[in-house]
Amino acid sequence: MSNPPPVPVRQEFTPVSRYFIHRVAPLIEDPAELKVSLAVFSLVQAKKGYPRYTTLAELGAEETLMNTLGKTPNESLQSLEKALKMAVERGTLLGLELKSGKHNHQLYFINTEADTAVVEKIKNGSLALPGLKEVTAEVITGKTGQPNIFKLYEQNIGLLTPMLADNLKEAEKLYPEEWIAEAIKEAVSLNKHNWRYIERILENWSSQGKNSGTHKGNTGETDKYKGQLYDHLVQR
């Protein structure tokens, strides 16, 4: 293993949110995803002007980063693209693909409320980027385009503790991601904001079939008793 380069006397620092450090980074298992996410933070924060983003080409030009991602240039590029896709799926980054004439440009933003608005403006044409004309834009969504389950849990249920994060990671091994997302939404609709209830919904779907039972209904007597369907499952 090669030694790291010497630390320069004068260093520049990149701000990284506490949310990423304490809530997101501990959940990242692929080293490439973590490396690439940090590289995006660094490149974006170093930019001046508006809006601030980096590109696939700029990341590909980061020699030190690319050397750690693969043994050959092609392998490194594939690893970079995979890591970016994972970071977008996780919700760390926002991706936008622009097509201008014969050229495609992949842009990456840090996932903040302000940059979400920027991406939407670029997509609907109300914000033009310098040097790009007659652009069509498409949001890069990764595998599913559905909210990451960890982010979905925090948005709808509550604080994601390390133990709960482990529970979600274990659930990902047992059930399809779509099931977990739907179970979270189902629990919220029943005003049951806890992991145990979500887990029992998943177990019930696994043992009895996801589409069986009256919980899928939405009218009449079904709705009247809907909130009671899983109560017996969480009693101790």
Reported pTM: 0.59
Mean pLDDT estimate for the chain: 82
- Measured CA to CA in angstroms, residue 134 lies from 66, 104, 154 at distances of 32, 12, 39
Per 3-state DSSP, the chain is made up of helix, strand and coil in percentages (nearest 5) of 55, 10, 35
Q: What is the pLDDT of residue 198?
A: 94
Q: What is the pLDDT of residue 210?
A: 80
- Residue 101: CB atoms within 10 A of its CB come to 9
Q: What's the CA gap between 192 and 63, in Å, rounded?
A: 49
Q: What is the pLDDT of residue 197?
A: 94
Question: What is the DSSP-derived secondary structure letter of residue 126?
Answer: S
Instruction: Please state the domain extents for the chain.
Output: 18-140, 149-233
Q: Which CATH class is domain 18-140?
A: mainly alpha
pLDDT in tens, 4-51: 667 666 778 888 888 889 888 998 999 999 999 999 999 999 998 899
pLDDT confidence bin for 228, thresholds 50/70/90: very low
Is the peptide bond between 8 and the residue preceding it cis, with omega within 30 degrees of 0? Answer: no
